[in-house]
Amino acid sequence: MYVQQQDQAAGGAEVRAAEAAVVRAAGRGSAARLHQALRGLAGTALIVAAYIQCTCNNKIKQLEEQKYELQKQLSCARPAADPLHAFTRPFAGSQEEEALLNEMEVTGQAFEDMQEQNSRLIQQLREKDDANFKLMSERIKANSLHKLLREEKQLLQEQVVTRDQQIESMGAVARRLEEKERLLQATLSAVEKELLLRQQAMEMHKRKAIESAQSAADLKLHLEKYHAQMKEAQQVVAEKTSALEAEAYRTKRLHEELAILRRKAERMKKMEQAGSSMDEVLLEEIREYKETLTCPSCKVKRKDAVLTKCFHVFCWDCLRTRYETRQRKCPKCNAAFGANDYHRLYLST
């Protein structure tokens, strides 16, 4: 019982210390510190209640153990032959048991009282916490309202100062506008005089513009006639150019055939002078025909592609290589060609 009273006194001291901390935090006006102090107070109350409950449980366990030990000792020390002791010893043991039971009842009652006291303390803490929160919220609202009113007053003062400055600036602007008005009136009279002169000059320029329009119409008619003549001349030039190109192409072909015939004639003369046989002549012609069928660019592959621009014949790989390497000109006549200007050529056997 003495230990329980000491525990209650310690718990009450801790609770009072926590309440004093809450009061000091509220006096300083710090919401965060108040909230922290209230949390500490609630935690302290819970710790005190848990400590008291644990102490009571330990005390009950100790009493039960003592009761069990006493019963055990009583059963071991009871003699079988002593009838007087058999009548007197159980009476003493029953008195000790009754004392222990009374002490256990007192301890249980004290534990229940402590629990009720803890619940009352927790309820009081909650009520104080709610009251402190309400007071702090009201104080915070009052402080915020006072701050808003002070800021509004400062804003109104600034607006008054700004309005005074605006009035002064507007007065200065009005004076400048009056000066500008006088200057504009003087400028307006000068502009009116200049306008009369401009109108006279504009009428004279209008007459000149009408004359210029008439001459421009005449020049346009002459220009259209010259354009028609130029188009006709361009058509004639284009026809003659195409005819000259065709004639040049035919002349080039004739020169090539003439060169081939000259080579054949020279070869025949050489063969006659050397006295060669007909087989050698045929072999020479076969060689020439093979050279004719061989690509003149690579000298290896057969001719199997033709350029539609100039109709020269080469192998497909040479033309494709020249196109991909952007050397897009005929190897013989340097005629430019595109992707659709070279095609496959199939020679049937």
Rounded to whole angstroms, the maximal C-alpha distance in the chain is: 177
Options 1.10.220.10, 3.30.450.20, 3.30.40.10, 3.30.70.20; CATH for 295-349 is 3.30.40.10
Domain range list for the chain: 2-166, 256-293, 295-349
- pLDDT higher at 221 or 38: 221
Q: Considering only CA atoms, which of 313, 309, 295, 318 is closest in space to residue 337? A: 309
Strand 305-307 and strand 313-314: the pairing is antiparallel
Average pLDDT over residues 312-331: 90
Is the pLDDT at 262 greater than 60, yes or no? yes
What local confidence, expressed as pLDDT, does residue 46 receive?
65
Average pLDDT over residues 241-262: 85
Picking from 59-63, 111-115, 202-206, 288-292, which range would have the lowest pLDDT averaged per residue? 59-63
What local confidence, expressed as pLDDT, does residue 183 receive?
92
pTM for the whole structure: 0.28
Residue-wise over 224-238: b if at least 16 C-beta within 10 A, else e? Answer: eeeeeeeeeeeeeee
Bridge partners (DSSP) listed for residue 305 = 314, 344
Is the pLDDT at 264 greater than 80, yes or no? no
Bridge partners (DSSP) listed for residue 336 = 329
Is the pLDDT at 79 greater than 80, yes or no? no
Is the pLDDT at 286 greater than 80, yes or no? yes
Question: Tokens 């004739």 belong to which residue?
Answer: 254
Distance CA 126, CA 122 (A): 6
Average pLDDT over residues 182-208: 92
Is the pLDDT at 10 greater than 60, yes or no? no
Is the pLDDT at 20 greater than 90, yes or no? no
pLDDT tens-digit readout, 41-53:
556 656 766 776 6
Is the pLDDT at 199 greater than 80, yes or no? yes
